[in-house]
Amino acid sequence: MRLGIDLGGTKIEIIALNERTGEALLRERVPTPQGDYDGTLRAIAGLVRMAEQRTGRRGTVGIGIPGTISPATGLIKNANSVCLIGHALDKDLEAILDRPVRLANDANCFALSEATDGAAAGAGVVFGAILGTGCGGGIVVDGRPLVGPNSIAGEWGHTPLPWPQDAERPGPRCYCGLDGCLETFLSGGGLALDYNAATGQSLTSPDICAAAAQGEEAAELALQRYEDRLARALASMMNILDPDVIVLGGGLSTLERLYVNVPKLWGRYVFSDTVVTPLVPPMHGDSSGVRGAAWLWPEPASQDIGMNADA
């Protein structure tokens, strides 16, 4: 059995997968103890114990986190759940759970899930782009997440908007301290910021999408600007990585028009006479992150601790 855990800012979710078929055996979530590192450790350990008691199996444990492990210190860095920063989360959990634990950035987990048995199953190189509260990315090559020596592979959200227009310079200030990062344009907040700048009205990204569907001109223009920026950003990624499949995730991935309009736009920016890379929605939706965490252990390694020996 494989156990996957998605450690989010507001909830911690666990899934138990059959090690051979990928069938979900169990899925539960609990609130994240806000700002409480020790409480977070206890919550994760409690979910693992609950899952193993209910399934009667001992599982491998993979965890998706909103950050990454620094290769220099072995401690968590770049996490928007700031209570994790500076801690050896993997080692602390290994001590509590008495087994090895694999950690990965949540965007890498998303991409791994879709590359393993999702919308990009069987593809050699997969880029997963998350368009939600933030703008993240993950790369999977031959079924393995690409991490890199600095643990930042796929962090396209903190690259600048390519081929910027004059009105897009220098771009909004990003929380990383720089101006014009893709995160400030392509996240849900980035779409809302653009609409607000154009109209003086404050709407959330779902409300903007709804208004555009109802024919509001300002909302439609905001989405057209968003689509062009997304096309430029993905074209730049294709010029570097040339993935076999691009999968979108996050709240904005449910916007069906993206899959029609963006591929019509990106050909102008891709350095090729043809673009055959498909842009697809996620098969597993908001389950991709937690499923990908479970797939961080690709090889079967479960041990029977009771009943359900076929799980």
Only one residue has tokens 């098969």, namely 283
Which residues lie closer than 8 Å to 285 by C-beta, 6 or more apart? none
What predicted TM-score, i.e. pTM, was given to this entire model?
0.90
pLDDT tens-digit series, residues 250-264: 999 999 999 999 999
pLDDT tens-digit series, residues 161-197: 999 999 999 999 998 899 999 999 999 999 999 999 9
Domains in the chain (CATH in brackets) are 2-106+289-304 (3.30.420.40), 119-282 (3.30.420.40)
Can you give the pLDDT at residue 300?
A: 55
Banded model confidence at residue 310, pLDDT cuts 50, 70, 90 = very low
Query: What is the C-alpha to C-alpha distance for residues 33 and 261, in angstroms, rounded to an integer?
Result: 41
What amino acid is encoded at 274 in this protein? T
Banded model confidence at residue 286, pLDDT cuts 50, 70, 90 = confident
pLDDT tens-digit series, residues 19-35: 888 899 999 999 999 99
